[in-house]
Amino acid sequence: MKADKIEAWWFSSGKKLPYGDGRIIKIGRTHKVKGNIELCKNGLHASRKLLDALGHAGGSVIWRVELSGKIKKDTDKLCASSRLYLEGGIDISDCLRKFARMCALDVIHLWDAPKVVVDFLKTGDEKLRAASRAASKDSASWAASCDTSRAASWAASWNASRAASCAASWNASRDSVSWDAMQKKHNRRLTSMIKKILKKEESCQGGMGNKRSKDR
């Protein structure tokens, strides 16, 4: 079905379309696909919410996009026949690591986290990461967290802190904090963080960062 233009978010692993397509991604460029649009099979994807886009991330390069043409909708993603790249092309790996640590710290009080875990989450000191991961695996929370598919998938798609403490602490919060409320909070936080990055990038480029070129 045809729909109005929809602004959304999409992550890539680089500056080329994946899955053997190979077309170059560039701000101001529009990609199109032919044939029947079908979620996960044929089409150009994105998500309205950044947190949803992150759940489907194939990499850590962020794009703000505009979908148009034929569009199909799912609960956490969209699939379209046309995708215009408005902003981005920035690798935000460091931002995602910081975001993951901040989210883990939100619920750190809900489990008996070893000091090295807390120190790592607060500072992001890479020298502490291995020790933090080991300490988290030794904790009782780790065994339970391994069975928490949401936490595991988030940790994997974020490719962020990689500290087991994140999954463990999210698991500990499962029964005491509304998952929906937590998702909304995390989405607001991530959106704010990334918009600041894009604004800074635009400023560095002399205000040209989000202007659309005629390169379609």
Cα torsion through 196, 201, 202, 208, rounded to 10? -160
The structure's pTM equals 0.78
**Distance of alpha carbon 181 from alpha carbon 105, whole angstroms:** 16
How far is CA 174 from each of CA 2, 97, 167, 179, 181, rounded to the nearest angstrom?
Answer: 39, 21, 11, 7, 11
Q: What is the pLDDT of residues 133-189, one digit of tens each?
A: 777 665 544 433 333 333 433 443 344 333 444 454 455 555 555 677 878 888 999
- Do 47 and 8 meet the contact criterion of CB atoms below 8 Å apart? yes
Q: What is the pLDDT of residues 20-78, one digit of tens each?
A: 999 999 999 999 999 999 999 999 999 999 999 998 988 999 999 999 999 999 999 99
Q: What is the pLDDT of residues 65-115, one digit of tens each?
A: 999 999 999 999 999 999 999 999 999 988 988 888 888 888 777 777 888
Cα 104 versus chain centre, distance: 15
